[in-house]
Structure 1
């Protein structure tokens, strides 16, 4: 590690010490809240912003990605909760309007019972139509909210899978690099071994030729009178 990197390493360690109590709070208190509880979403988003900011400042991509992912998750769940709350309020309003309409229909029926029975039947049919329309609208809004929540969850899942694929690709690339380096060293060693064997064989042949030549000279000297 270079000397200039020491302050960054110290700051990262100090941040881990600071974050430990926050993790304890999250594990023992926040995790017991509902997944979409406003207090939990606020806490997780604040923690994510803190991680992303510190990760960016300290040059820690992993911490920055973790913080950004936590912020995105909290924002997505918060939007989903708001949409669901809005849908619930609109449905309650529609139910109240329906109840008011029913009361009005009953009142109109009582007032018109003796005067005109057909008018009462038409009012009842109109009320039922409004009821069906309100119920259908509420179902459509609930379905739209569910689709939005599912889309947020799918995007979060896809992002996590993409990060996993990238990490696996990096690991495979590193493994291939190490394997290629090992193969290269093995080939070099084999080439040097072959070269040594060739030189050894050549030296043996030269030695054998020298022995033969020596024996020939000795035989010639012995043959002279």
Structure 2
């Protein structure tokens, strides 16, 4: 079981990042000890500059975390910097899509989220919020399946109903695991797995009941 930090958690006066990391790891250790199960949390290393971001990642690793996260809003150079650091330090990097709607939801202007999926896969992100079909990030099922195919397949073929307009061979480039998160609950698992397949991380939050 893993619990993500939410998007845009930086280091507000009421929740400084170092104390937040310590509280999270303490809770993780208590939960693991009580249940005998693996527990974890995506510690958000988002910061105002690359050096501070890496400092936070190093602290998360020092505490024993195996996964960290960043937000899309930190920018592509910072995302790729985080991905390179995570790979070198054997950490999983989760990317929250916070900020994408400012340019990905316009029908006649902006960047389709499918393009962002391609960029993040090339940048080396391990998993990314990619839509749910149901819940907060609901969308056309075929369009969402197209996003998942873009992240997971080694070769894409033209599939217009899914929004894939070009053939694309990813060769040996690493896959990026899609994450279904946002307003979904455990009762929707059959529907989600039927539509999205089994190569997906399902995140069920406390605010969905």
Same fold (TM over 0.5): no
What is the TM-score when the length of structure 1 is the normalising length?
Answer: 0.23
What is the TM-score when the length of structure 2 is the normalising length?
Answer: 0.25
Structure number having the greater strand percentage = 2
Larger Rg: 1
Structure number having the greater helix percentage = 1
